[in-house]
Structure 1
Amino acid sequence: MFQDREYFNSLRKIAVPIIIQQFVWSALNLLDVVMIGQLGDASVAGVGLANQVFFLLTFLLFGTSSGAAVFTAQYWGKGDVTSIRKVLGLSLGVSFVGSLLFTVVAVAIPNTVLSIYSRDPEVIAIGGRYLRIVAISYIPTAVTFAYGSVLRSIGNTRLPMITTVIALVIKTAISYVLIFGHFGAPVMGVEGAAIGTAVARVLQIFILIIPIYTQKLPIAAKLKEMGGFSPEFVKAYIKVGLPVMVQEVLWSLGMSTYNLVYAHIGTQSIAAVNIAGTIENLAFVIFIGISDACAVIIGNQIGANNEANAKRYARYSLTLVTLGGFLVGVLIWLSSGLILELYEISPEAHDFAIKVLTVMAFTLWVKVSNMTIIVGILRSGGDTRYALILEMLTIWLVGVPLALLGAFVFHLPVYWVVLMVAAEELCKYIIGLQRFATGRWVNNLVQHAA
């Protein structure tokens, strides 16, 4: 495996910018949580729950863009730029409609939405103020998602990386000034964090789109080039893309249900989960890069009719993330106490966070393996329907029932509930690995013109 220069050169070229982008995103998000953590448990919990709305939107957008990415990667392997621009048009249209709906709900009834997750009036009030401000960035985020996903699928991961890093630095700088009132600015607390986030996301769309069109990149499509789909093209797109969109929305609803359960256990519990989850996201950056690169590489190979290479590269990628997941999980466990010293939280929340982080550390390998199987392999091969069924059955028939049992029947502490939920990942891994071994996930979707 390690002697295959073609694979590792492609992996490095695509994965490294994604890893850098994800690392900066996670690191600055961690810094955001640390800054908000200075305001107390209720602020951490309120912002964390408000971000559940963006979390749901993100996975709607991720599902839309991932469906587009399946086609884009294979069309790029085939050399069909015209069809790639049509895929971009469809992705933009669906993303805009979804983000518009989320914006209206978040601006109109933020407290009502957050009351689903928490019964704490202080947490709801804080989260509601944050949510109403940050919601204005949802539509620009949708446009950025669509363009960025298509760019990565044609192997251009550098531009999305640069634009994301710039936007995140802007977000962190504004948040730092406004949360604490530095340089003569008013002390705004969580509203300052919301303004920083909203401004950065709005600016990011211009930072990304301007270079695409000024440099005349392959996806610099005119409006008329984003339309004109044949019925066969639309049918094929829906057949592959709809399961991905449904999967991401239902998956995010499942994750949101977990957070609802954790929040109902107590404010300290959801604060601990939010903190531990932020650290886990930082650990995920390498594996997101490998998984996304795997999807592009495999899609390109399938589009070029190199099925044997696609299967071999899939095997290489899965091996890398599984071994890496074990190593990074151990590092998290060893450093968890030191990391949590950064937070000004109650002793109870600190104790919960240590134990939740321990569970997350020792289940990291199976989570990143599942991400690679589903996102990097099954989807890139067009096996989106199987991926949908696998994800939904394990979350809703294993994970969610166990979470509800642990919290509301057995009244267990949050860290035991998190451990019970991890059974979902193990079931998913066993079934997904069997599907991978059959090779039936390989499907060439771009044999016919759009």
Structure 2
Amino acid sequence: MSLTSLFNDKKFLKTLFKLALPIALQNLILSSLNLVDTIIIGGLGEYAIAGVGIANQYFFLLNLVLFGVVSGSSIFTAQYYGDNDIPNIKRVLGISILTSGTAAFVFFIVGFFFNNQIISIFSTDKVVISIGSEYLRIIVFSYVITAITFSYSFTLRSIGQVKIPMLISVIALAINTILNYLLVYGYFGMPKLGTNGSAIATLIARTIEMILMITVVYSQKLIIAAKVREMLDLSIDFVKNFFKITAPVILNESMWSLGVSMYAIVYARMGTEVIASTNISATIERITWVIFMGLGNACAVMIGNKIGEGNEDEAYLLAKRFIVLCPILAILAGLIVFFTSGWTLSVYKVSPTVYNYSHNILMVFSIFLIAKVINYVSVIGIFRSGGDTKFCLALDTGGVWLIGVPLAFLGGLVFKLPIHFVYVLVYLEEVVKLMFCIPRILSKKWINNLTAKD
């Protein structure tokens, strides 16, 4: 696969930009507004950043469970759309809402009644625990709402309707940021609620986002505007086949998110300044990551559609094209982070120690970005779209639990290494995973047509 043939294929590039750009833009706005939110909360001090960051770590767990459900659903949706099977797309949407909604409700119950205990897992600082637990007690009310929005949004993406979720997210996130500003500091006659104001702002924005999503889908009579009976028209065989493919994805995301939470526990035990620095750097990393989220989602839709059409050779060609494109974009993004992180961090009102920690973390991130990107697009965009979910489960779970977590605990808590050295140890997971990804792509074993009739 030469660079010339890659960039001369106008049809490939047109489809890629059509799908990837709105998703990337949506995530860019999300990450940018999260950056603004972090800066707003940062004005309350490092304890506020740490407390809210830890509370959001709990949502991070739920977020990845939800992502496991909706991305597993997207495997079927993309292939059914390629096969022009609309009734089954509606059935998949129904299972997605039921499964993700149930998971969100469980997280709501645990988070509401055991918020103090949850925050205490990550930090022993009483001030951080107090701030985090109060924030969590409010934000959990947004969880089920978020699950419903996720299901509709990802289903739309899987059928190529990427602009609608983008526009709705932009509106909701803009509302969130404005309300954050008003409710945290009490401007324009609003109550001054501190970090709790941020939680309330997020809850309101998430509610508006769900209402807008459902209103647009049904008022415009989009193909996923399913009636309840259409979503619940589920046979036992259909449900079994669905969970045969998606269960490994849900387990994959759950186990991976638990592993990442282990990293957070290590960082939290290294001190409040380390917690603050990892939260700050993570926000900047998410901004960098938006292009690759768009790339991975576009890859999944394009390959899934081709497999559903029965065109497996074209699906394999697309996979090779994405793997050529990934390193190019990763190198460019890594260079940007490497040379601009100092300027970006200057907007935060934090101590020199937190600034230096954050800067060093971003240097490590920029160096290992190429491996992380190739692995991400391989798993999210290629393997899962082909139904190769068991391999993804083994790869991700093995990487985080056999390599990343043990090295993080050894580096951070046993050998007491500086935070950036701990990050280097954690990112060795990506290097090892890369050694398995490329051979798997070339083997074609990941290609499975889930729409094929027996």
For 1:246 and 1:351, how far apart are their aligned partners in 2? 36
**Counterpart residue number, 2:44:** 39
2:417 matches 1:417: no
For 2:82 and 2:359, how far apart are their aligned partners in 1? 46
How far 1:64 sits from its partner (Å)?
A: 0.3
2:82 matches 1:77: yes
- Structure 2: stretches of 5+ with no match in the other structure: 1-5
For 2:253 and 2:433, how far apart are their aligned partners in 1? 15
- Matched letter for residue 138 of structure 1: Y
2:354 matches 1:349: yes
For 1:447 and 1:41, how far apart are their aligned partners in 2? 55
For 1:448 and 1:194, how far apart are their aligned partners in 2? 48
How far 1:434 sits from its partner (Å)?
A: 1.5
- Matched letter for residue 331 of structure 2: F
2:118 matches 1:150: no
Deviation digits for residues 10-40 of structure 1 (CA, Å, limit 9, x no counterpart):
1111111101101100000001111111111
**Counterpart residue number, 2:59:** 54
For 1:164 and 1:320, how far apart are their aligned partners in 2? 27
For 1:269 and 1:164, how far apart are their aligned partners in 2? 31
252, 277, 292: which one pairs with 2:257?
Answer: 252
281, 289, 296: which one pairs with 2:294?
Answer: 289
For 2:351 and 2:10, how far apart are their aligned partners in 1? 51
State how 1:35-434 maps to structure 2 within 5 Å: 35-434=40-439
The DSSP-based 3-state class of the residue aligned with 2:7 is coil
How far 1:367 sits from its partner (Å)?
A: 1.2
How far 1:318 sits from its partner (Å)?
A: 2.0
How far 1:232 sits from its partner (Å)?
A: 2.4
For 1:231 and 1:136, how far apart are their aligned partners in 2? 32
Taking only aligned residues, the RMSD between alpha carbons, in angstroms, comes to 0.9
The DSSP-based 3-state class of the residue aligned with 1:393 is helix
Deviation digits for residues 260-315 of structure 1 (CA, Å, limit 9, x no counterpart):
11110011011111111110000001111011000000000000011111111111
The DSSP-based 3-state class of the residue aligned with 2:8 is coil
For 1:430 and 1:275, how far apart are their aligned partners in 2? 30
- Matched letter for residue 320 of structure 1: L
The DSSP-based 3-state class of the residue aligned with 2:122 is coil
* Most deviating of 161-170 and 232-241: 232-241
How far 1:432 sits from its partner (Å)?
A: 1.2
**Counterpart residue number, 1:444:** 449
How far 1:245 sits from its partner (Å)?
A: 0.3
For 2:323 and 2:405, how far apart are their aligned partners in 1? 26
For 2:48 and 2:431, how far apart are their aligned partners in 1? 33
Counting matched residue pairs gives: 449
The DSSP-based 3-state class of the residue aligned with 1:115 is helix
Percent sequence identity is 44
How far 1:448 sits from its partner (Å)?
A: 2.7
The DSSP-based 3-state class of the residue aligned with 2:330 is helix
How far 1:183 sits from its partner (Å)?
A: 0.5
How far 1:230 sits from its partner (Å)?
A: 2.5
- Matched letter for residue 349 of structure 1: V
The TM-score normalised by the length of structure 2 is 0.98
